[in-house]
Amino acid sequence: MKVPMLDLKPQYQQLRQEIQEAMGAICDSQMFILGKPVADFEAACAAYSSTKHCCGVSSGSDALLIALMCEGIGAGDEVITTPYTFFATVGAIARTGATPVFVDICPDTYCIDASRIEEKITPRTKAIIPVHLYGQMANMTKIMEIAERHHLVVIEDCAQAIGAEWNGRRAGSLGHYGCLSFFPSKNLGCFGDAGAVLTQDAERARKLGFFRNHGMNPKYYHKFVGGNFRMDALQASVLSVKLPHLDEWTAQRQANAAKYKTLFGQTDGIVLPTSAPEATRHVCNQYVIRILDGKRQKVWDGLKAAEIGCDVYYPVPLHLQECFRALGYREGDFPESERAARETLAIPVYPDLSEEQLAFVAETIKGLLQ
């Protein structure tokens, strides 16, 4: 039985006619950049995320970059974040000329360990970028307390967490900015690259609008040096069709995660995902297990042989990446991030998995661990 890591075809078939009609309207208009389709999606996304403003941009990576640029963060500044995340989080910091400062993760949630942030703050620290990893939010209560005490900007990396909640508050609504990705594999994915920046602040929203369009306002007048970070209308039209279905898909992901918990039971040699008590809504963007006792490679190879999709996210933490060697970090500096890189394995959790597929995945893994 083949079980892909992700299969988007059933989702597309469900919405095929509506999506094609929406995209057809854009093609008929021949208006492809920004415009009403983008504005309509921004309003819907802001409402879904319980924020006042949403700025559609070209990708999740650019969402992070534009938030940093709007705050004037650059050379000589420091930004605190986690080494256990997708490259874009730290790549955006480096592209501004600022220095990333790493804090290790919590071993149970894989999110930044908020209790270790304050010890890394210096006079050069300007911002914190917590990453809401795998669909679960970081400890935003503590992070915002620290940020307020030290007058720091908080940029939530919500690329994997649209709709997730911390104490009932939506991802992207607690920090000064919330950055979303709509890469096709995300819970809410478009047909290419797109992203968005959420904010509660009207002035920040206004500035984001300038920065995504080369800092231009009005046309050909540039108060700021921005970039070409505009969202395509075609992507906005796809996202507007999909957004009303997101809660249904999230519920299906959560149900699949619950089934895995039952199927795995108390299997030795495996640690299942957990949620912090305050993480009142985990949206299960990924389902990531730990394989103990050095058996991850055996399980990984066995799953591939059984035609079951799986993946290792972040096998090399960012503090050990060659391009960041000049930062001076060494192996052993962030032990929890390094252990997660050695032990974790993501398995399929997408909404359209059948019960037979879920059982096949679980039974195969249990067999490989014997």
Residue 278 is predicted with a pLDDT of: 87
Residue 213 is predicted with a pLDDT of: 95
**70 neighbors 227 (Cβ within 8 angstroms):** no
Question: What is the CATH code for 9-244?
Answer: 3.40.640.10
**6 neighbors 348 (Cβ within 8 angstroms):** yes
pLDDT in tens, 148-196: 999 999 999 999 999 999 999 999 999 999 999 999 999 999 999 999 9
**190 neighbors 60 (Cβ within 8 angstroms):** no
Q: Nearest to residue 346, comparing CAs of 305, 307, 299, 306?
A: 299
Query: Which two structure tokens, joined as six digits, stand for 253?
Result: 């992901």
- pLDDT of the chain along its 370 residues, tens only? 899 999 999 999 999 999 999 999 999 999 989 899 999 999 999 999 999 999 999 999 999 999 999 999 999 999 999 999 999 999 999 999 999 999 999 999 999 999 999 999 999 999 999 999 999 999 999 999 999 999 999 999 999 999 999 999 999 999 999 999 999 999 999 999 999 999 999 999 999 999 999 999 888 999 889 999 999 999 999 999 999 999 999 999 999 999 999 999 989 999 999 988 888 899 999 999 999 999 999 999 999 999 999 999 999 999 999 999 999 999 999 999 999 999 999 999 999 999 999 999 999 999 999 8
Q: Residue 207 and residue 204: Cα distance in Å, rounded?
A: 5
For domain 246-368, the CATH superfamily is: Aspartate Aminotransferase, domain 1 (3.90.1150.10)
User: Domain residue spans in the chain?
Assistant: 9-244, 246-368
Residue 217 is predicted with a pLDDT of: 86
Residue 76 is predicted with a pLDDT of: 96
Q: Residue 303 and residue 309: Cα distance in Å, rounded?
A: 7
Residue 49 is predicted with a pLDDT of: 98
Residue 239 is predicted with a pLDDT of: 98
Q: Nearest to residue 348, comparing CAs of 252, 268, 282, 207?
A: 252
pTM score, whole prediction = 0.95
